[in-house]
Amino acid sequence: MELPSFDMLLFLIAAGFVAAFIDSVVGGGGLISLPALLLTGLPPGMVLGTNKLGGTLSSLTSTASFLFSGKIKGKLVLALFPLSFAGSALGTYSVHLVPSTFLKPLVVTMLIVVLIYTLLKKSWSGSAVQAPLTAGRTIGAAVCALVLGFYDGFFGPGTGSFLLFLFLLLGFDFVGASANAKVLNFASNIASLVSFFLLKSVHIGYGLPMGVAMIFGALVGSQFAIRQGSRYVKPLFLFVTTLLIGKQLWDLMH
């Protein structure tokens, strides 16, 4: 197993911590971790799988942190968890059959809609303990969990933003939405990671040090979000979503 140099190790640890800090709250950590792994010289397929190792450790830590804080609505996410898992596994398999580039224009459009809607809506109804879901909203949430799980396994950018937005629409505040979104993000990450392991596209030597740093980043980020509340989460959500839009537009133009 090839190990990174000392300088590269420090770089991956720093990048992993920052990426997980952001990802634990609003998603979008891949904006940092993926370019960092690309700089190691690993093949793109190996980069995606190695990044999923760190992302899985990060989302597991965030999920545990939010769970102990009482921010997660257990019955809802337990029902949606297997749908997100199954969708991601199917998406990861499909990416080897169908090119994902055709999704980029659609993703940019959806992210812009999410950004504009969030900016225009002055306040979100809210607490993490919201009213019982109607049958229609439950079915809608189930479909979204399956589709977003597939999207995460198939393409990925913006999944955290879309999941957080889903829970906002279900009546959660920003912190509650972030907490419950991380559970589904963990489901899609672990399914995708297993698929990448089976395809032998995970580099443990690079992924494990970065993943350990991401555990600490996720722990600090989730605790900071819990203490600071929506006044911290909402601006970061808008900032990261704007960066995601810019990144996807840049990719489209180049």
Residue 70 within any structural domain of the chain: yes
Q: Does residue 248 lie within any of the structural domains?
A: yes
pTM of the model: 0.84
For 193-227, the pLDDT digits (tens) are: 998 898 888 999 999 999 999 999 999 999 988 88
Percentage, residues of the chain above pLDDT 70? 90
Task: Answer yes or no: is 18 within a domain.
Answer: yes
Is residue 36 one of the residues assigned to a domain? yes
Is the separation of the CB atoms in 24 and 58 below 8 Å?
yes
Q: Which domain holds residue 109?
A: 6-253
Among candidates 168, 152, 176, which has minimal Cα distance to 117?
168
Write b or e for each residue in 3-31: b if 16 or more Cβ atoms lie within 10 A of its Cβ, otherwise e.
Answer: ebeeebbebbbebbbbbbbbbbbbbbbbb
Residue 237 lies inside a defined structural domain of this protein: yes
In a domain, 111, yes or no: yes
pLDDT at residue 162 is higher than 80: yes
Domains in the chain, number: 1
Determine the average pLDDT of the residues in 129-152. 83
Interval 32-67: pLDDT, tens: 888 899 888 888 878 888 999 999 999 999 999 999
Give the whole-angstrom CA distance, residue 87 versus residue 93.
Answer: 10
Single-letter amino acid code for the residue at 39: L
Whether 1 is covered by a domain: the verdict is no
